[in-house]
Amino acid sequence: MDKLHTKSAVELAELIRTKKASAVEVLEHFLARIEKYNPKLNAIIWMDAERGRKRAREADAALARGEVWGPLHGVPMTIKESYQVPGSPTTWGLPEYKNNITETSALAVERLEKAGVNLFGKTNVPVLLADWQSFNPIYGSTNNPWNTALTPGGSSGGSAAALAAGLTGVEAGSDIGASIRNPAHYCGVFGLKPTYGIIPLRRHSLPNAYAPGDISCVGPLARGAADLDVMLDVMSGADELDEYCWKLELPKAKATSLKGLKVAVKLSDPNCEIDGEYANVLQALVDKLAKAGATVKEIEPQIDTRRLHEVYVQLLRAATSARTPDADIAAWKSALAASGPNPDRYLDLMVKGVDLTHRAWLPLNNERHKLRFAFDAFFKDWDILLCPAAASAAWPHDQSGERWRRTIPINGKPQATTAQLFWAGYSGVVYLPSTVGPAGLTKSGLPVGYQAIARHGHDKMAIAFSRFVEREIGGFVPPPGYE
């Protein structure tokens, strides 16, 4: 019972269903850890413990009657602050929405609760979900449990930190710029960015938002790869308007182990230098994959990655432009105008993106779809494309100035933090599913993750790869002091 916080959601659900632990006991275990550890992490920023206790009692009473609500019966869950949950604030870190207490649920929340979760809290985010850190003027900063001086990632940083520290049973985040993937990478947990559109975004939003955003996805984070599979099954499927005419049937992964799996490897790209400590861990993982019997080869789709990145950043910033304050856009334009003939690459692309006319957006979208077919042709021969999730392990908090001006040290030299968006867009802009899972620890003792990209709609192949790596090589390791 004293190790409940290291277990996966699937394991917790099994303990509850078999009555080896009650839902009340499991919840109280996590609540006690939150009281002990959350003050120095600030991962969970809203909680309704009494709501959780009531739900836990109901879960135990249902089991006593022989009723099982679903595959996650009684599992304690927190969720990213950006999801609407009745009675909770949904602010996206914006002070003007501090009192936005919704009485509606995100569709994904409704599905998760029907599957049995005990949703009792919310986790921290950056303002407008727009940073690889997690801080805002309402709730303050979230720290990485491996080292509180470091970022846990963003924008689902509170989610990943809470999981790694053992404060919750399972989590869900969102991802348009690696916002599930980089926190999973920085904190040593699992995350899935699903194929675009297969999990509805409805009410993962601020008020009066109805249209799903381009590139944006919602998906699970967890301490175990099997949890991703269960959560995907629960969260995915047609939204209200689509359920009249189509249903989702994701292909199952045919592989049963790493042996014979075809893994293409891409560990570097001129668009984003990789820190040596991280690259060494990824190379060690590749070597272990080969030793386990996987077919491993350094190869990648025949595409212009520089152009892919340009298309991604422009479409990304076009997608987020509607919620970007006019003052920010004006400041970016002024900075670009003052930068002379050799402007910052990201600033230039960002300004182009937020100011795109629809006519200018259309050819970029057409390029994107051409890239999608190029990737699909590649995946006819490969099961997984393995690549980095970011440029390095977690880095020190840096909340000064604007994000595009900040740098992080890579191999002893400053690199723009925004350069890491290359690895976000590599699968994101072309709508492909990708998992991030623990690859090991760097020489400095920090967790890093691999990114495993699969063919369009083959989310279960990406998850299967993470399951096999977890089983045959290694998975989640608790941070020191949180065991």
Query: Quick check: is 155 catalytic?
Result: yes
Task: Tell me which residue of 432, 465, 474 sits closest to 228, measured CA to CA.
Answer: 465
3-state secondary structure the chain: CCCHHHCCHHHHHHHHHCCCCCHHHHHHHHHHHHHHHHHHHCCEEEECHHHHHHHHHHHHHHHHCCCCCCCCCCCEEEEECCCCCCCCECCCCCHHHCCCECCCCCHHHHHHHHCCCEEEEEECCCHHHCCCCCEECCCEECCECCECCECCCCCCHHHHHHHHCCCCCEEEEEECCCCCHHHHHHHCCEEEECCCCCCCCCCCCCCCCCCCCCCCEEEEEECCHHHHHHHHHHHCCCCCCCCCCCCCCCCCCCCCCCCCCEEEECCCCCCCCCCHHHHHHHHHHHHHHHHCCCEEEECCCCCCHHHHHHHHHHHHHHHHHHHCCHHHHHHHHHHHHCCCCCCCHHHHHHHHHHCCCHHHHHHHHHHHHHHHHHHHHHCCCCCEEEEECCCCCCCECCCCCCHHHCEEEECCEEEEHHHHHHHHHHHHCCCCCEEEEEEEECCCCCEEEEEEECCCCCHHHHHHHHHHHHHHCCCCCCCCCCC
Count of Cβ atoms closer than 10 Å to residue 2 Cβ: 7
* Residues 6+ positions from 356 with CB-CB distance below 8 Å: 314, 318, 321, 364
333 assigned to active site: no
Q: Give CA 43 to chain center in angstroms.
A: 15
Residue 80 known to be catalytic: yes
- CA gap 41, 220 in Å, rounded: 21
Active-site option among 88, 179, 434, 466:
179
- In the block, tokens 């003007």 appear at 96
- Asked if residues 74 and 60 have their Cβ atoms less than 8 Å apart, the reply is yes
Of 80, 122, 266, 288, the active-site residue reads: 80
Question: How far lies 447's CA from each of 137, 332, 353, in Å?
Answer: 28, 34, 33
Contact 215, 176 (CB under 8 A): yes
Q: Indicate which residue of 155, 156, 205, 236 is catalytic.
A: 155
Task: Give the residue numbers marked as catalytic.
Answer: 80, 155, 179
